[in-house]
Amino acid sequence: MLLAQLCMNLKNKFMDFKTILQFPVLDTVEILKILQEIADIERQEERPEMPQVTISIFNDSASGFFVNYDSEKNIILLCDMYDRKAQFQYIASSSISSISIRNVNKYGYLLSDGKIPFTPDESEIPTLLQLKKDIKALELEINEAIGKDITIKYNYDGTPEDLDKFYALKVLGLLEETLSKIATDKLAKEAFTASISEIEFTLGTENKATLENGIISIILDTSKGLKSLPKAVKLQEHIEKNL
């Protein structure tokens, strides 16, 4: 397998040289998937900070901001700006010999397989009170879509850490997307309303769901940060297996 070269700014407090020495070897396919994940996150920001890459192709190379990767077409789109004019480069991923990455310091956790802890920005960490308000708002939204009163509960021991509160907020978004999908599927909706009256979720080290006495208990894997959380489609599968 081809290897990807990681070039990062060592000034990042989570990116000291000793930590970098623990990084796993990733092939270019894995790197492209991670770059796509980073790009998808950044493009939602008001001021996106897209990854910068240099891709080596046989005896040549191409540099620019990573914009998109189509795994079906095996094409990578890079973009750069010169004198306020955009320059686009479309590269066949099958021809890559190496990838050099820059401007991804805050996403080191995605490349490190858990060696670098994920630290959200303070502005992204809700208070416990805000979480409770968001849970209540989600209950009202889902109850209207499902046509039944459903209680949502976040299970935690003691006082949740800031990182746990951040993940819990992300889980609410995941639940909203998942339950909205169920609500638009007639058969799934009927089975859901007939079986479930309460949803409990817990942060853990695996993704699974169990149903007992009308309570669906969902464990969500945050052992590798957001990377290990299931997609909405997969969470829906976990839920529907219990119906």
Q: Domain spans of the chain? A: 5-111, 122-240
Burial of 32 (0-12, 13-18, 19+ CB in 10 A): buried
Q: What is the spatial order of strands in the sheet that 85-92 belongs to?
A: 5-6, 96-102, 52-57, 60-70, 75-82, 85-92
pLDDT of amino acid 134: 96
Mean residue pLDDT of the chain comes to 88
CA angle, 115 as apex, 110 and 121 as ends, to 5°? Answer: 60
Asked if the 5-111 domain carries CATH number 2.30.30.100, the reply is yes
Per-residue pLDDT averaged across 160-167, rounded?
A: 94
Residue 12, pLDDT score: 44
Instruction: Supply the pTM of this predicted model.
Output: 0.70
Quickly state the pLDDT bin for 2 (edges 50, 70, 90). Answer: very low
Provide, rounded to the nearest whole percent, the portion of the chain with pLDDT above 90.
66
Q: For residue 169, is pLDDT > 60?
A: yes
**pLDDT, tens only, 209-227:** 999 999 999 999 998 788 7
pLDDT at 10: 38
Question: What confidence score (pLDDT) does residue 15 get?
Answer: 56
The pLDDT assigned to 114 comes to 67
Q: Which phi and psi (to 5°) does residue 17 adopt?
A: -60, -35
Q: For residues 21 and 147, what is the distance between their CA atoms, to the nearest angstrom?
A: 53
Token readout for 175 is 């639940």
| Stretch among 6-10, 31-35, 125-129, 199-203 having the lowest mean pLDDT | 6-10
Q: Could you give the angle at the alpha carbon of 116 between the alpha carbons of 113 and 119, nearest 5°?
A: 120
Asked whether residue 204 carries a pLDDT value surpassing 70, the answer given is yes
Q: Is 69 helix (H, G, I), strand (E, B) or coil?
A: strand
* pLDDT value for 16: 67
Per-residue pLDDT tens over the stretch 105-155: 778 878 877 677 777 888 889 999 999 999 999 999 999 999 999 999 999
Per-residue pLDDT, averaged over 171-192, amounts to 94
